[in-house]
Structure 1
Amino acid sequence: MNMRRSLQLAAITLLLVIGATAARAQLHLKHDKPQTEDFSWLWQYTQPAPDGQKAALLADSRFADLLKNELKAPQTFWGNGLPLSEAASAFLSGKGHVTSTANRYLTITGCVVAQCTQRGLLWMDLGATKPLIVFAAMRWDEQSRTPDEKDAPFSLWLFPDRNIDPLHVPLQLQSTLADWTRSDGCAPQIRLAAVVDTDGTPHLATTDKLGISSIICTSNSTGT
């Protein structure tokens, strides 16, 4: 009888030890699992379609935090020494839209207030395990032709939140860039296009690799 009781107690003790070990393993896995940012709060600003609520989004303090936390690469295209998040804020502050595609991709467009030839776009792939966030800025070369002149030169700068291959930009991003840069079936004269690494290193890219139309406008639109 005592032998049976001893075996029962030993079995119970073994089960408790196994259970505690499994629980610790689960806690360890949960602790080690990468934490992903929750961007679900952005979706509300895509309604009502097709333009969304751009002004309300800009007024949400979480949007400024998003730019600051995700856009950290050094930049020189808009004022030396200015943080990329502040440059992005300037390029997104003017008129624009908040739209979504396929319940996965979110696009925010804008321009520099009172200088809407200087245009910005924030593109997000929220369907990826680690969301990909890309800020794009299209700049008019103020030292050359006026923006409404034929062949007025522009530059296009892409700042991903992590390094991407400039020769293999995601197809959905290419499609978004094509729609964004095009107006009435044509595009501005982009003489320089670059994809910038997180350390600030620029890589030249051809417009065809970015999905941008090569049909040049006779005059450039300032719309977003």
Structure 2
Amino acid sequence: MRVLVLEDDHHLSREITGGLRSAGFAVDLAHDIADADFKIAINRYDCLVVDRGLPDGDGLDLVAGARGRGQLVPALMLTARDGLRDRIAGFEHGADDYLTKPFALPELVMRVRALCRRREQPTASRITVYDIEIDLMRRRVARGGVMLSLTPKEFAVLELMATKRGSVVTRTDLIECCWDEMAEPASNVVDAVVAKLRRKLGDPQVIETVRGTGFVIS
């Protein structure tokens, strides 16, 4: 899942992006509304984390503008403005959640995960693929009752393939959803992660390669 963080405080932005990446999200960062607006126009995001007080305006304007263009990506407002009027204004402008500063990073991660899940998989918290159990909320995978140790990136790749089971997931899909803007699409990074994931999942193999296109869990 790919998230855009709009935060102009460099220390806080590093903390937020680091925490989300450790939790398995691909994260892009913007420090002003103009940059964030450009990134939303060219990338597909599963969630926006938006500060309000920014050098070039109010983060609510970014969300309202996205809603005006028909973009329904969930948005969490992250701000020190904790008054009732501020929270109401956030929801009126299209925000889906509101978290005030200071905040606990684990709570932010869970709120972002819930918003992403609402967008992609409104009801499911667990996916079963053959004898593989994927717990989406606890980020755990077991096969045949044996817990597997996956990296956050491996889990993200498996999650995307499992939620789109039966459909081909292209390498471009994986890059856009599971890696941030620092990834190099021309590299073999996707194939390397898929190869490691296959080894950890073991036999019989559940991830099939569609030559020249991508991968599928049928």
TM-score, normalization: structure 1?
0.27
From the two aligned structures, give the one with the greater helix fraction. Answer: 2
Higher Cα Rg, which structure: 1
Larger relative contact order (Cα-Cα within 8 Å, sequence gap ≥ 6): 2
